[in-house]
Amino acid sequence: MTTQTTLDRTPLAEVGRIKTMTAETPRGGAEFAKFLLARIAEDADRARTFLADNHEALKRAGAPWPSMALAGVERVLAECAAKRAIVERYVDNLDLALSYRKLPTTGYAAADRLEHQLQEARLATSLEACVALVAVYADHPDYDDTWIPR
């Protein structure tokens, strides 16, 4: 199953990408991304556990319950994979934006300045997508109220 493979990849924090990021964006940064990836992984684990724990009971219930439950779990896993891809895009955009921010502000070509501006726009867009995702987890004890502007 493709979803399973996507979710079981080594977390970004373990391969060193997130831990090297800084929180130079007003909302976001390493803790923001780590929090989201951890919650997404928990959601996927809950879905798999539900299916494993209830497989026999669902089989005894007969059609259409087993297929409906399986479809629901597969949808949750697909949503987790999609959310993870959004967070990974944010991490990629943040890494690139931070590297652009280290460049001198003068003395480089207009095309380079334009690329820097485009990267900042990509970062802002991916951050807004992640802000929408993180709102779902506002009741979690590790949630930071500064992640969503009031």
What does the pLDDT look like over 127-147, one tens digit per residue? 889 989 998 999 999 998 888
Give yes or no for a contact between 21 and 98, defined as CB atoms under 8 angstroms apart: yes
* Torsion sign (Cα): 72, 132, 96, 31: negative
Amino acid (1-letter code) at residue 19: K
Rounded to an integer, the average pLDDT of 5-15 is 38
User: In terms of DSSP H, where are the helices of 1-64?
Assistant: 2-7, 30-61
DSSP assignment, residue 85? H
pLDDT tens digits for range 71-91? 888 899 999 999 999 999 998
Whether the full predicted model's pTM is greater than 0.85, yes or no, is: no
Listed by start position, the domains of the chain span: 28-141
Distance CA(4)–CA(58), nearest Å, equals 21
